Chains A and B, each alone.
Chain A
């Protein structure tokens, strides 16, 4: 079945770069997403990448996609305390049985910032 996997924790020093990794199993994924969840808050869309792209950059965020290895990463440059959150990877896949798309979610990576 479809599966998305992420490490549960990542600890980095303030000012360093954070790299959050995600692997997925469904090769028919069309879009892959990164969502951010701050403590006690909802899910905020950070960025997304189409499956025919290798890289997407948006200010401090860089998304890298290796479709051959089914590996997605989110790099946050110059990590700040405000980046402390849980980061969810999600892939959009087609539910063959009814031709609708659904997001399959990873478990989330908690980013911990050390001073």
Chain B
């Protein structure tokens, strides 16, 4: 069974469009994350979210917004897509809350977003 899943795996769209990437985890974890991996493979955290708080990396444009319908899901909405948004986006989850250093993150397979 897949622990952390994302859909779609590939997303190709035009500049200016609005799109969403879905993430689901069946691990019963409390915290979920979104990461962006650029073409040079650098990984940067975008959001950390649990039922208590949302932490936003201050470098993330406000065109990006996470939406959590329930504890098992954290979707990423992107408005007015730009060329520079092309990247692989990874969802992750961890058992505890963000105040624990022991919290291991488990990653989804990634969504490759291409903006034309």
Q: Which of A35, A101, A107 contacts B100 (CB 8 A)?
A: A101
Question: Which chain B residues lie closer than 8 Å to A44 at the CB level?
Answer: 107
Q: Which of B42, B99, B101, B110 contacts A42 (CB 8 A)?
A: B110
What is the 8 Å Cβ interface bit string for chain A, positions 96-114, against chain B (1 contact, 0 not)? Answer: 0011111101011000000
A20 at the B interface (CB under 8 A): no
Determine, out of A11-19, A53-61, A70-78, A86-94, the stretch whose residues face the partner at the interface.
A86-94
A100 touches B48 (CB 8 A): yes
Known: A100-B55, A101-B98, A103-B45. Is A41-B110 also a contact (CB below 8 A)?
Answer: yes
CA distance A103 to B41 in the complex (A): 15
Spell out B's residues near A (CB within 8 Å): 4, 40-45, 48, 55, 90, 92, 97-110
B41 touches A35 (CB 8 A): no
Question: Which chain B residues lie closer than 8 Å to A31 at the CB level?
Answer: 101-102, 104
CA distance A4 to B98 in the complex (A): 20
Question: Which chain B residues lie closer than 8 Å to A33 at the CB level?
Answer: 104
CA distance A98 to B99 in the complex (A): 9
Chain B contact residues, majority secondary structure:
loop
Known: A31-B101, A31-B102. Is A43-B90 also a contact (CB below 8 A)?
Answer: yes
Question: Which chain B residues lie closer than 8 Å to A41 at the CB level?
Answer: 109-110
Q: Which of B41, B98, B107 contacts A86 (CB 8 A)?
A: B41
A10 at the B interface (CB under 8 A): no
Chain A contact residues, majority secondary structure:
strand
CA distance A99 to B4 in the complex (A): 26
Question: Which chain A residues lie closer than 8 Å to B100 at the CB level?
Answer: 101
Question: Which chain A residues lie closer than 8 Å to B98 at the CB level?
Answer: 100-102
Known: A42-B110, A45-B106, A101-B99. Is A107-B40 also a contact (CB below 8 A)?
Answer: yes
A35 touches B102 (CB 8 A): no
5 nearest A-B pairs in the assembled complex, by CB-CB distance: A30-B101, A100-B98, A43-B107, A42-B109, A105-B43
